[in-house]
Structure 1
């Protein structure tokens, strides 16, 4: 599975990356909107783990660009705020599949990656 982590807090992104790589995923990690869109422009992606509140850039812009470049890629939004806690993120992002807190255990995040990644492969292949 090709996974892109877009997380401004490098230590958190690194924890997720190590766990997902141990599960056999190919994982890239970036911290900004510009880095994410540059990566998406030149790499195939199945799943994006995307912090809703980036320090540099807008998460929804990343999700929109991903939807354009990789329409079958699934987005798992992560947040440490209550913004969009009403579930409205699913109305704003067509490729959103999950909305979880930053405190979600890495093994739970890995299970979501496996589940939604299989969904993405099912629709494309």
Structure 2
């Protein structure tokens, strides 16, 4: 399974990446929109972990690009805000499969990635 993590906080992305590496996932990290799009243009990912609050660029633009490149790629959104806590993110992005707090334990996030990376 191949995973793209888009998270502005490098230390947090590295923590998630280490957990996914232990599961055997191929993981690539990006800190913002431009870097994420560059990876999406040249690589395929089964799951994208996308923080809704990026320091560089727009998470919505990235999510739109993910859907454009491969509608089967699942997106797990993470955030530290309560915006979209009503579930409306799922009506905006058809490939959204989860909406989690940024503080979700890495082992739980890894389990969700493993679940959603399975063929559907």
Using structure 2 for the length normalisation, give the TM-score.
Answer: 0.97
Question: In the alignment, what sits opposite 2:63?
Answer: 63
Question: In the alignment, what sits opposite 1:104?
Answer: 104
CA distance in 2, matches of 1:97, 1:14: 22
CA distance in 2, matches of 1:20, 1:63: 21
For structure 2, the 5+ residue unaligned runs are none
Cα RMSD between the aligned structures? 0.7
- Describe how 1:1-125 pairs up with structure 2 within 5 A: 1-118=1-118, 121-122=119-120
For structure 1, the 5+ residue unaligned runs are none
Using structure 1 for the length normalisation, give the TM-score.
Answer: 0.94
Deviations 1:53-108 (A, max 9, x none): 10111111111101111111000000011111111111111110000001100110
Runs (4+) of structure 1 exceeding 6 A deviation are none
Number of residue-to-residue matches in the alignment: 120
